[in-house]
Structure 1
Amino acid sequence: MLERDYIRRLIRQFFEELEKLRDKQRNDAYSSTYQCEVNSMYRAYLGHPASFFYEQDAEFILQTLASELSAEQIVQRLEMLADLLYFDASGSDCSEDLKKDLWNKALFMYDYVDRHSDTFSFERRGKMTVLKEKVHESGL
């Protein structure tokens, strides 16, 4: 029970921080402090630096997080990761190749969550559809 409460608080806090970053993204031009805040979210909520998620393939990331997290946490954390990857690719000043890679990883994580979650989400499915279109348009 305590673990579920912890996960709920963590998820709520994560999405509040992500929403603050979205507001910054809408109101300000890209800045190094903005990217530092995004990078710090990777470490704070997923336990690894942004470079780990940029450099490793999706399956390795999944295996690593699955070995570090409880079965109860993995689905929620992967959905957080997918949202962060999607947000990072959409808002950052990174190369087109990195954006495509982040979109693919986000899609992979959303797909895993969709198959393993006991909760159906129209929002998640919508994000998956948008990501599939972005990946298709980019030629991957």
Structure 2
Amino acid sequence: MLERDYIMRLIRQFFEALEKLKEEKATKPVETLQIDIHSMYRAYFRQPESFFYEQDAEYILSYLQTEFPEKEFLHRIEMLSDLLCYDASIQQSPQERKILYQKALFLMNYLDSHSDTFSFERRRKIAEIEELIYQ
């Protein structure tokens, strides 16, 4: 029970922090947003942003699987894919933006195929990312 409470609190804190960043997108400089995003990579995934920028999606998935308990694994995938999407949305370089969206898409597709709950929201996000990548 305590473990489940911890996971739910972690997820809530993460998405509250991410939502706050999204709200600040219009008012904060991109550089400040990037610093905040980079700190979220370290805080929630125990690696600097460079790890997620440089490694391929399969390796990142493998890292998550070995680093986090099984009960957290799928939640961490969802959290990371949302963070990658937001990070991609503020990237200046179209190439960097596309790479981050591709990683987020890979993780979301993995989550979609391995989760025991169907999510219209997840399917909507997958469709949006595919549109952003392949437009």
Match of 2:9 in 1: 9
Alpha-carbon separation, structure 2, partners of 1:129 and 1:26: 25
RMSD between superposed Cα atoms in Å: 1.0
Match of 1:61 in 2: 60
Is structure 2 residue 47 aligned with structure 1 residue 48?
Answer: yes
Match of 1:110 in 2: 108
Match of 1:123 in 2: 121
> Residue by residue, what CA displacement relative to the aligned partner does 1:118-140 show, whole Å, maximum 9, x if unpaired?
22111111110011111112xxx
Match of 2:84 in 1: 85
Per-residue deviation at 1:26? 2.4
Per-residue deviation at 1:76? 0.2
Is structure 2 residue 23 aligned with structure 1 residue 23?
Answer: yes
Identity of aligned residues (%): 53
Q: Secondary structure at the match of 2:25?
A: helix
**Runs of 5+ unmatched residues, structure 1:** none
Alpha-carbon separation, structure 1, partners of 2:11 and 2:127: 23
Alpha-carbon separation, structure 2, partners of 1:68 and 1:134: 30
Per-residue deviation at 1:105? 0.3
Alpha-carbon separation, structure 2, partners of 1:97 and 1:128: 19
State how many pairs are aligned.
135
Q: Secondary structure at the match of 2:26?
A: helix
Q: Which amino acid aligns with 1:25?
A: K
Q: Which runs of 4+ in 1 moved over 6 A?
A: none
Q: Secondary structure at the match of 1:10?
A: helix
Q: Secondary structure at the match of 2:122?
A: helix
Per-residue deviation at 1:80? 0.2
